[in-house]
Amino acid sequence: MKYEKWNIGAPAQQAVDLLRGAGYSPLLASVLAARGVATAEDAAVFLERERALSVSPLLMKDMDRAVARIQRAIADGETIAVFGDYDVDGITSTVLLLDYLKGCGANCLRYIPRRIEDGYGLSRDAIRSLREQGATLMITVDCGITGNEEIAFAASLGLDVVVTDHHECKDPLPDAAAVVDPHRADCPYPFKHLAGVGVALKLVLALGGESREDALFARYCTLAAIGTVADVMRMEGENRTIVRCGLEALPHTDFVGVHALLKEAGLLGKPITSIQIGFVLSPRINAAGRMGAADLAADLLETDDPARAEELAKALCDLNRERQSVEQAICTDAVTQIEELPAEERSALVLASENWHQGVVGIVASRLSEKYSCPSFMIHLQDGCGKGSCRSWGGFNLFSALESCSDLLEGFGGHELAAGFTIREENIPAFRARMNRCVRSSMDGELPVSSLEVDTAVTCAGDMTLEGAEELSALEPYGAGNPRPVFALLGATVDSVQRVGQGRHLKLRLSKGMCHFDAIFFSVDENECGAETGERVDAAFHLQANTFRGSTVLQLQLLDLRPSLTPSRHEAEAMALCRRCREGEELTAQEMGRLRTSREQFGVYWTALERRARSGGIEGAELPILRELAAVSGGNESFLRAILSLSVFSERGLLSVRRTDDRLFVHLQPSRGKVDLFACPYLARLRGPSAGTN
């Protein structure tokens, strides 16, 4: 099991039936109902596909001032510098705005910081360099909202600044020519969740004017979609419109570099969804910034030379492979550190090392947050100072938490889900302790457990069809607030397991009743999977269409496997029989014969319990524990007698049994000398003509 707990949704059957009656497929109806959609009318609104952005960009505070200053700079022939960020959101924002300005005939400069040498955000050296190159106006994209001192420095050099950003604001705001950020407390713009590239897009639409909005949106929605998905913004409102339209326009985009990257990544000519953007395109663009070469990605997106684009796309993919190798090494080291942390320091993972690549720690923090179900803070140390990246989990507001620790930090910025900070090395222990207290306080003192959110369990395996999986695309685009659907198939049988992809992945064949399914478990080996042929399991997965050698079939993309927590027919019957025996109900002679257990068999079960108690305790889901106990005896009635043994040992005071939800806790009591098991009332009534077996 990868996750300690599965939270399986239980959609209201009435809502599912109503949606199915309205023509929605069983799978889509179940997901919609699980997400609170109860009627056909609600479903139509939820799935509605807007074709344009309907909210005027001029509703954003200071947008009019930004437009006036930029238009004056264009008209007067000023040199305009665009200062971006080194992540995908920042790179796409930079390219989008530069493309528009150059199309207007503006003289432009581009500056994207180098993550390691320059760090995040504005810097005096960069500002001085841009001014020396003749810039009189600097526009920030996806950064600048906390750069008060740097913007004041720019003003002292005669460089005006227009800030466009989407990160959380601090008081006071920068003293700039304009500050455009929907998070401003005085900004009336109704949608607050735009990415940095979304704000840049809104700026371009405002600059172009209402008559050109449709044409400009058609040109730039693809870049905006890539940046929005990559920055894990909430997939609702205007973001859904941007990404939906951007995905549709992707095959026809005017940006040559995007086509070259699709080709190099093996996606050219294939259907592209938010999943491909998030897991294929974005990591390749992001690799440039993480490895200190953000300009490489910006050059790719800006170029209109196909040969140059092909060359840059290949370099970008090579860089991504290097990033993957570095990331794996850091992740391994981080896990080692986590295993050495005391329990009170695992609510928030605060880890540091001088050996980690500063550009890669953020993505490792994301993986750790998912793996350990808690916020993660990864710190690259150099010369007594740490530069950290952090990722949220479970709705924990990172920005607020960092504010509460500001006395321990040299600086910080970001938003509630992802942020960066700097810290002196000597302050890290105090920061770790305070952040763990902060997280525990937000969780009412409960320690986090790794949890998987499952939309619904599939009640009829026959509903899982290729057509049904394809109909789920109506939910696209996926993202924060609208995740890709997760299903569970309970009580499936593992028919086969084999390694694929040079041994890096597992391919399984699962069955439920008469239905058989192919499944793929990425980046998992047999030991991690833990499932063997013939075993009953519960599977959690995404549904997808898999095309191989021209044939398309349904495939389960596994997220987790666990020993099944739903009893088989035989197990359910055994549990019911044992319950009847304990409660003194009348039993047939045949049933009593099945329940009779010898002293030797009891001894085998007790020895197995003692062995497990010594090796780490007896705790977990009830059915797997019972199956493990039954396996030590073997035979047709081993499961039934394993249940009876626990009941007898408990009644005789040899152990205590406690149940919470679907978990079982068994504690062996200190030895009290010889105990007569057959004085147990459960067994006394089984004595009869065959009592000699006792």
Residue 386 inside a domain? The answer is: yes
Domain end point (choices 193, 212, 231): 212
Are 126 and 205 in a shared domain? yes
129/206 same-domain check:
yes
- Which is more confident, 12 or 549? 12
More confident position, 530 or 574: 574
Q: DSSP label at 480?
A: B
- What pLDDT, in 10s, does the model give residues 260-307? 999 999 998 888 999 999 989 999 999 898 888 889 999 999 999 999
- Answer yes or no: is pLDDT of 119 > 80: no
Strand partners, 664: 620, 659
pLDDT given at position 692: 39
Same-domain pairing of 72 and 142: yes
pLDDT band at 654 (very low <50, low <70, confident <90, very high): very high
For 67-101, what is each residue's pLDDT tens digit?
Answer: 999 999 999 999 999 999 999 999 999 999 999 99
Domain ends where: 178, 212, 246? 212
Residues of the chain with pLDDT > 70, as a percent, come to: 98
Higher pLDDT, 363 or 117: 363
- Between CA 413 and CA 297 the distance in angstroms is 24
- Domain check: are 687 and 652 in the same one? yes
41 and 120 share one domain:
no
User: Are 115 and 149 contained in the same domain?
Assistant: yes
Cβ neighbour number for residue 275 with a 10 Å cutoff: 16
Instruction: Give 425-450 pLDDT, tens digit per residue.
Output: 999 999 999 999 999 888 775 666 77
Q: Please compute the mean of the pLDDT values over residues 26-37 and round it to a whole number.
A: 96
Are 82 and 151 in a shared domain? yes
pLDDT of 674 higher than 60: yes
Q: What is the pLDDT of residues 300-336, one digit of tens each?
A: 999 999 999 999 999 999 999 999 999 999 999 999 9
Q: Which of 451, 474, 507 is the last residue of a domain?
A: 451
Q: Do residue 91 and residue 167 come from a single domain?
A: yes
> 523 lies in a domain?
no
Region 224-239: mean pLDDT is 93
The CATH number given to whatever domain includes residue 443 is 3.10.310.30
Q: Is 538 helix (H, G, I), strand (E, B) or coil?
A: strand
Q: Which domain holds residue 405?
A: 341-451
Rounded average pLDDT over 39-58: 90
Tally of domains within the chain: 4
Rg, the chain, Cα only: 30
Q: Which residue has the higher pLDDT, 115 or 346?
A: 346
The pLDDT of residue 663 is above 90: no
The pLDDT assigned to 296 comes to 95
- Please check whether residue 387 is in contact with residue 380, taking contact to mean a CB–CB distance below 8 angstroms: yes
Task: Specify the pLDDT at position 167.
Answer: 92
Output the pLDDT for position 592.
Answer: 92
Q: How confident is the model at residue 29 (pLDDT cuts 50, 70, 90)?
A: very high
Domain contains 253:
no
Q: Check whether residue 107 and residue 38 sit in a common domain.
A: no
pLDDT at 503 over 50: yes
Most confident of 198-212, 472-486, 679-693: 198-212
Same domain, 38 and 70: no
In a domain, 102, yes or no: yes
322 domain-assigned: no
Query: What DSSP string describes 145-209?
Result: TT-HHHHHHHHHTT-EEEEE--SPP-SSPP--SEEE-TTSTT---S-----HHHHHHHHHHHHH-
Domain-embedded: residue 664: yes
Mean pLDDT of 676-692: 75
Strand (E) or helix (H) holding 377 = strand 376-382
Cβ pair 492, 560 in contact under 8 A = no
Q: What is the pLDDT of residue 395?
A: 78
Q: Please check the confidence at residue 690 and state whether its pLDDT lies above 80.
A: no
Report CA torsion sign: 180, 185, 188, 193. positive
User: Can you give the pLDDT at residue 694?
Assistant: 39
Same domain for 94 and 41, yes or no, is: no
In the predicted structure, residue 689 carries a pLDDT above the cut 50: no
pLDDT at position 447, please? 61
CATH assignment at residue 108: 3.90.1640.30
Q: Over 90: is that where the pLDDT of 619 sits?
A: no
pLDDT in tens, 139-191: 999 999 999 999 999 999 999 999 999 998 988 999 999 999 999 999 999 99
Whether 217 is covered by a domain: the verdict is: no
- Residue 342: the pLDDT is 92
Does residue 36 sit in the same domain as residue 89? Answer: no
Q: What is the DSSP letter of 651?
A: H
In a domain, 277, yes or no: no
